[in-house]
């Protein structure tokens, strides 16, 4: 896996500003660094853990493919491939959930939180259910890996003419085919005219790059 270039100085400056502006959040982040350093039992010093977590956090926030396996692989890279897969998952759990052990198997809410973060280990990469029109029908919603990825998805959609769109959430509904709620969005053209209602499922393993009928996907 080829990693993008990372501006470490910019990351460090960002976290310094976070320390000044949000001391409580910064203290919590420091605690996460300490937990990771303790987990790795002296194989990596705290400074290495600090630098690695800065990069990993940035990747988690901005990269589209943040499934659990992919993030664990990135974590291993930043620790010189000298950690086990189990340790990589624990580091990810510390970073995202502030706990080493995150049991989704026995806790429905925990499973939902993990899926909502794009980190469910068994989240499908594409919908197996192909019933209905993609995006338009509750039986075939658009797959997105996390609620915070919904805007990222819609920002890549255009009308077939190339015109940009505006979207507003209209609530959520329950599907018999899926374990978690499906969100419904109303889509408007640039003149504010309503042109479609689309269903989005934010508990997927990967953000879809498909466009519903009448739209196109842009890179």
**Token pair of 29, please?**
């982040």
Is the same domain home to 89 and 160? no
Is the same domain home to 27 and 91? yes
Number of domains within the chain: 2
**DSSP per position, 167-186:** EEEEEEE--TTSSS-EEEEE
Task: Put the strands of the sheet holding 166-173 in their side by side order.
Answer: 142-143, 194-201, 182-188, 166-173
Question: Is the pLDDT at 16 greater than 70, yes or no?
Answer: no
Distance, CA of 195 to CA of 214 (rounded, Å): 10
Is the same domain home to 89 and 147? no
Question: Is the pLDDT at 128 greater than 50, yes or no?
Answer: no
- C-beta separation of 203 from 112 below 8 A: yes
116 phi, psi to nearest 5 deg: -65, -25
The answer to whether position 209 is within a domain reads: yes
Cα Rg of the chain, angstroms? 19
Place of tokens 């209905």: 132
Polymer length in residues for the chain: 219
The answer to whether position 14 is within a domain reads: yes
Mean pLDDT (whole number) for 96-125: 62
Residue 203 has what DSSP assignment?
B
Kind and range of the H or E element at 99?
none
Confidence band (pLDDT; 50, 70, 90) for 204? confident
Going by C-alpha positions, the residue among 208, 195, 186 that lies closest to residue 163 is 195
Distance, CA of 23 to CA of 81 (rounded, Å): 32
Q: What percent of the chain has pLDDT over 90?
A: 37
Question: Is the pLDDT at 190 greater than 50, yes or no?
Answer: yes
Is the same domain home to 93 and 175? no
Please give the residue that has the higher pLDDT: either 24 or 153: 153
pLDDT tens figures, 35-80: 999 999 888 998 899 889 988 888 887 776 667 778 888 899 999 9
CA angle 73, 76, 79 (to 5 degrees): 155
* Chosen domain end from 102, 125, 153: 102
**Pairing between β-strand 182-188 and β-strand 166-173 as defined by DSSP bridges:** antiparallel
182 beta partners: 173
166 phi, psi to nearest 5 deg: -125, 145
Is the same domain home to 35 and 95? yes
Exposed, middle or buried: residue 194 (CB in 10 Å: 0-12, 13-18, 19+)? exposed
Enumerate residues 6+ apart whose C-beta is below 8 A from 62: none
Domain with 157, as residue range(s), is 142-217
**Token pair of 185, please?**
């969005």
Per the confidence metrics, is the pTM higher than 0.75?
Answer: no
The answer to whether position 178 is within a domain reads: yes
């Amino acid at each position: 896996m080829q990693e993008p270039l990372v501006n470490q100085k910019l990351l460090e400056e960002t976290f310094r500003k976070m320390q000044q502006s949000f001391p409580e959040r910064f203290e919590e982040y420091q605690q996460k660094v300490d937990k990771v350093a303790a987990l790795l039992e002296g194989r990596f010093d705290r400074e290495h853990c600090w630098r690695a977590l800065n990069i990993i956090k940035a990747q988690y926030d901005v990269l589209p493919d943040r499934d659990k396996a992919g993030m664990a692989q990135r974590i291993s890279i930043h620790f010189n491939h000298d950690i086990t897969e189990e340790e990589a998952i624990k580091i990810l759990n510390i970073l995202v959930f502030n706990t080493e052990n995150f049991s989704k198997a026995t806790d429905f809410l925990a499973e939902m939180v993990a899926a909502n973060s794009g980190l469910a280990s068994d989240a499908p990469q594409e919908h197996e259910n192909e019933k209905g029109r993609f995006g338009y029908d509750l039986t075939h919603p658009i797959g997105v890996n996390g609620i915070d990825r919904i805007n990222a998805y819609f920002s890549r959609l255009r009308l077939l003419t190339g015109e940009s769109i505006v979207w507003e959430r209209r609530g959520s509904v329950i599907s018999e085919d899926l374990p978690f709620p499906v969100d419904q969005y109303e889509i408007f053209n640039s003149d504010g005219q309503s042109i479609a209602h689309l269903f989005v499922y934010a508990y997927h393993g990967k953000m879809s790059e498909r466009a519903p009928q009448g739209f196109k996907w842009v890179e």
